[in-house]
Amino acid sequence: ELRNRQELQSKQRESQLPNNVDEIAMSSKLQRSLNLYNNPNVSSRSNDLEESPQSTSNVSKTRRWRRPRTTTITVTNRFGPIAAQMMYSLFAFISRTKSEESIWGGPLGEKFLSEFLRTLSIMLDCSRTYPGNSVHVMAQDLFELAWSFHDAQSSEVRYAVLAAMGTSISLVPVEFLMRVGHFIGEGDISSEWISFLEKCGFSDPDTDCRALALMIIGTIAETDHNRIS
């Protein structure tokens, strides 16, 4: 009786199996996991995304549209409205204390002056995107202030002078350049400060000063070329 019951249960399990074992449907992912991908007795499901060209196209389109799109972010220049007040307070300070040897004299004074001019250059550069004419006026005043120290013996001060001049030249109107250095010939510029730049660019003992001076000369030449063309 026990044997008959076991045979009956075995027949019931066999009746639940598919009629054709050779056509068992299995996903491609499962086939690869079981190393059955090349087994001819195992077929893939027809709706498998990896085997269906249409499904593959849909997946690629979905991935394409899911890519993050870059958006333009507008940042307000918060330094612009107070730039003039800060810069001209420093202009007033140097004008008021220029004769004080304890501030501007000696190696410490030269170091302080170089950092002073660099600070003004950074302020001017940070305010360049602020709308209005105040940036152009500040650039002209910084240029003239820096030029007053162009003959300094310290290479640090000369480099700060060149940095201030280079920052200012990129922001001053062309008319200002024409006023402080007149355009002659075929785009050549002749003026005292252009001679200073050429001297620094080719014979200054400091390597950084030479490189910066030549860079400024290239900027001026490009500005002159654009004006003529």
Is 24 within 8 Å of 42 (Cβ atoms)? Answer: yes
Place of tokens 């030249």: 169
Q: What is the pLDDT of residues 99-130, one digit of tens each?
A: 999 999 999 999 999 999 999 999 999 999 99
How far are the Cα atoms of 62, 79, 169 from residue 29, in angstroms, in the given order? 20, 58, 65
How far are the Cα atoms of 136, 199, 208, 212 from residue 159, in angstroms, in the given order? 22, 13, 7, 8
The pLDDT assigned to 6 comes to 63
Q: What is the mean pLDDT of residues 25-45?
A: 55
* Widest CA span in the chain: 123
pLDDT surpasses 50 at 49: no
pLDDT band for position 193 (cuts 50, 70, 90): confident
State the distance between the two ends of the chain, measured CA to CA, in whole angstroms. Answer: 111
Is 120 within 8 Å of 90 (Cβ atoms)? Answer: yes
Q: What is the mean pLDDT of residues 63-83?
A: 77
Is 191 within 8 Å of 180 (Cβ atoms)? Answer: yes
For residue 69, what are its two tokens?
């799109």
- Helix, strand, or coil here: 164? helix
